[in-house]
Structure 1
Amino acid sequence: MSTKLVILDRDGVINQDSHHYIKSLAEWIPYPSAIQAIARLTQAGWTTAIATNQSGIARGYYDETELKHMHDSLNALVAEAGGEIAHIAYCPHGPHDQCACRKPLPGMLIDIREALGLETLQDSWMIGDSLGDLQAGQAAGCQQALVLTGKGQRTLDRHPDISASDTPVFEDLAAFTAWLLHDGDSR
């Protein structure tokens, strides 16, 4: 039996993004509809995990303790709404560090697969707002969806072929969740 898994990018999908990085809990502003969407996924039997590039750590903008505060707050909000995040994978490296985890590479998704004891991610979804998110999902064998929050609209404007591909495009995580819970299971 396969686990129904949705892997989410964080900044721009679950919370507001910033060109100046999200450096503190005070700057981490979740989309209320995204928190509710994660809860709905949990309640419908889906497992959720997060794969997030956090190069602000390598750049010295914040440290892993501050990131933990953000993720503790995220977990608390999701739990309060009746949901659960099974695993959070993050890449603390910069774009030139030649790591295996930074999206568009699939390292974090493989980490999630291993942490959850899954053999494959072929029945899983990777939801993101950037081309790198989609590429990581594809490299890991996931289905992908683009949300237009965060950098999503800019990503679609720069890569209009996304909407012509098998990658569905949604206004936000709540719209993806509504689609998945009503239509997507039959895919």
Structure 2
Amino acid sequence: MKLIILDRDGVINFDSDQFIKSPDEWRPIPGSLEAIARLTREGWRVVVATNQSGLARGLFEMATLNAIHAKMHKAVAQAGGRIDAVFYCPHAADMNCGCRKPKSGLFEEIAARYGRDLHGVPAVGDSLRDLLAAASVGARPMLVRTGKGEKTLAAGGFPEGTPVFADLSEAVDHLLKAAA
């Protein structure tokens, strides 16, 4: 099974420093839905791992997060793709949970759900915490310049050898060429 793990905000959709708090605020980054569709057509299982501390902060309710994800699933499906599952951390940073990236909890949940080691599984993110969480379980971190990606690239400190791409579409191009 070919598996890929994507961060949500800043990779699939535009990010916001004020959080994505409603379906109306969820807007796909150009090319991201089509990139997921290309993966789907090539037999990849696409999963999302996302920190959603807006829940713990009271910025939105669970029903709203579900509506945001329903919009994302529908948009991906309309492009011809599929997201198999969304794994999210609902906790705020000060709650010291094990699932908030850069900790590995979300990735461990994915490994358990799919019954596989994540060694070498591509994981696309725009922030240092995405890349560190991926590396902590042996997944292959990939940085995109969208979202917080430019700031992450400038700050450095991410796992050595992490490839950098303009956006999800370019990262998918790279993966599909390497798999061919």
TM range (shorter): over 0.9
Whichever residue aligns with residue 107 of structure 2, its letter is L
Runs of 4+ in 1 over 3 A off after TM superposition: none
Q: 1:41-86 CA distances to partner (integer Å, 9 max, x unpaired)?
A: 1111111100000001111100111010010111111111111111
Aligned to 2:119: 122
C-alpha separation between the residues in 1 aligned to 2:120 and 2:128?
20
Task: Calculate the TM-score normalised by the size of structure 2.
Answer: 0.96
In the TM superposition, 1:17-166 aligns within 5 A as 17-116=15-114, 118-159=115-156, 162=158, 165-166=160-161
Aligned to 2:162: 167
How far did 1:162 drift? 4.5
Q: Which runs of 5+ in 2 are unaligned?
A: none
The equivalent position to 1:182 in structure 2, one of 165, 177, 180, is 177
C-alpha separation between the residues in 2 aligned to 1:72 and 1:141?
30
Preserved contact between residue 5 and residue 123 of structure 1 (Cα < 8 Å): no
Give the match's secondary structure for 1:32.
coil
Residue-pair matches, total: 180
Whichever residue aligns with residue 110 of structure 2, its letter is I
Whichever residue aligns with residue 48 of structure 1, its letter is V
Task: Calculate the TM-score normalised by the size of structure 1.
Answer: 0.92
Q: Which runs of 5+ in 1 are unaligned?
A: none
Preserved contact between residue 93 and residue 100 of structure 2 (Cα < 8 Å): yes
C-alpha separation between the residues in 1 aligned to 2:116 and 2:125?
22
How far did 1:119 drift? 2.2
Percent sequence identity over aligned pairs: 45
C-alpha separation between the residues in 2 aligned to 1:35 and 1:157?
27
Whichever residue aligns with residue 157 of structure 1, its letter is A
Q: Which moved more, 1:118-127 or 1:61-70?
A: 118-127
